[in-house]
Chain A
Amino acid sequence: MTSVPTATAPSAPDAAPPAVGPIGTGSRGTRILGLVALVGIAVATYLALVSSPPDENMGDSVRIIYIHVPIVVVAYVGCLITTLGSVMVLWKKSVWWDVTAAASAEIAMVTTALTLVIGMAWARPTWGVWWVWDARLTSTAMLLLLLLGYLAVRRIPAETSTRSRRAAIVGVLLLPNVIVVNRSVTWWRSLHQDTTILNTLQPKIHDQMAFALYFAIPVALVIFAWLLVHRWRLAWMEQQLEDRELDQAISDRRAEAAGERAEDGQR
């Protein structure tokens, strides 16, 4: 008499496990960071919008610079971390750095796009146009594209190790490419004597304005750190989920195959 072996029902990875571990990416560290960030934002906003005077040339539109510069600093720092992380991935095969590179790149992408928009909002009242083909703006636009390319590689459907390695190669070249593009574009635009534009980009900064600006930069970096920790944890969990689903699929196949073998054995 043949008996049909019952297939063990695979546990669905989507079934909610009992919620004992931390839900979400928050922790005491991030709550402290977040609090510091919020206080910093409040102070920086007051400094930028209320207590500092308008610029003699630019008027009140200088207040846009108080967020423009900090945001672009965050974008560059993010870019640097991604490149650094990519080096570590190739050199030490570090998973931690792989996740860091990915998380940092996404934040850098968001802030680079934001930089362009903020820059355009500043360009309009200052120069009367939304966009000029000067070195800085053009290089920043290129940076955005380079980051989008990196993020596209991070999303390819492939094994984790393959994806990490390919992304790392692209990531290592991120900073060098940015520098080369920036230098080329600057050299190119300098041939057209864009000095008037360059002059308006370096406003004479008085004490209060300098303070508003230099205070805002660390605040932006705290925001970046907060975002990075959360995004890192999210990226880590996404990787865990992917690995689990892969393992699940493999063990399902094995169970199927074992079931088939048992059947054949019974006959």
Chain B
Amino acid sequence: MNDWGYVALAWGVTAVVLVAYALWVILRGRAMSRRLPPEDRRWM
């Protein structure tokens, strides 16, 4: 595997991990706020 292969590996893993984590946070956020009454959903 030449240099670009490893570049692709590094960038690819980064993209996948960050996107997956972001999605996980957002989807859990939506599920959580459905279980709470409106007044408890935000700090302010």
A and B touch in the complex (CB under 8 A): yes
Instruction: Give the B-binding residues of A (Cβ under 8 A).
Output: 13-14, 16-26, 49, 54, 58-61, 63-64, 67-68, 71, 96, 110, 113-114, 117-118, 121-122, 124-125, 223, 226-227, 230-231, 233-234, 236-238, 240-241, 244
- Complex A-B: 7 CB contacts under 8 Å: A19-B34, A21-B38, A21-B42, A25-B33, A61-B6, A117-B10, A125-B1
**Within the assembled complex, what's the spacing in Å between the Cα atoms of A198 and B36?**
52
CB contacts under 8 Å to A, within B11-29, are 11, 13-14, 17-18, 21-22, 25-26, 28-29
Taken together as a complex, chains A and B put the C-alpha atoms of A22 and B28 apart, in Å, by 14
Give the residues in chain A near B18, CB-CB below 8 Å: 110, 114, 223
B10 touches which of A19, A122, A233 (Cβ 8 Å):
A122
Judge whether A17 and B10 touch: CB under 8 Å.
no
Decide: A241 near B35, CB < 8 A? Known: A26-B26, A223-B18. yes
- Having A24-B29, A244-B36, one finds 11 other A-B pairs with CB under 8 Å, namely A16-B34, A20-B38, A24-B30, A61-B3, A114-B14, A118-B14, A230-B22, A230-B25, A233-B43, A240-B40, A241-B36
Task: With CB as the reference atom, state the residue of chain A lying closest to B12.
Answer: A121
A234 and B28 form a contact (CB under 8 A): yes
Interface residues of B (CB under 8 A from A): 1-4, 6-7, 9-11, 13-14, 17-18, 21-22, 25-26, 28-30, 32-43
**Given the interface contacts A24-B26, A59-B3, A234-B32, does A67 sit within 8 Å of B14 by beta carbon?**
yes
Q: Find chain A residues with CB under 8 A from B3 CB.
A: 54, 58-61, 125
- Complex-state Cα separation, A96 to B38, whole angstroms: 19
Least CB separation from B4: chain A residue: A60
Question: Known: A230-B26, A231-B25, A233-B42. Is A60-B32 also a contact (CB below 8 A)?
Answer: no
Instruction: List, in ascending order, chain B residues with CB within 8 A of A13's CB.
Output: 35
With both beta carbons as reference points, the residue of chain A lying nearest to B39 in the complex is identified as: A21
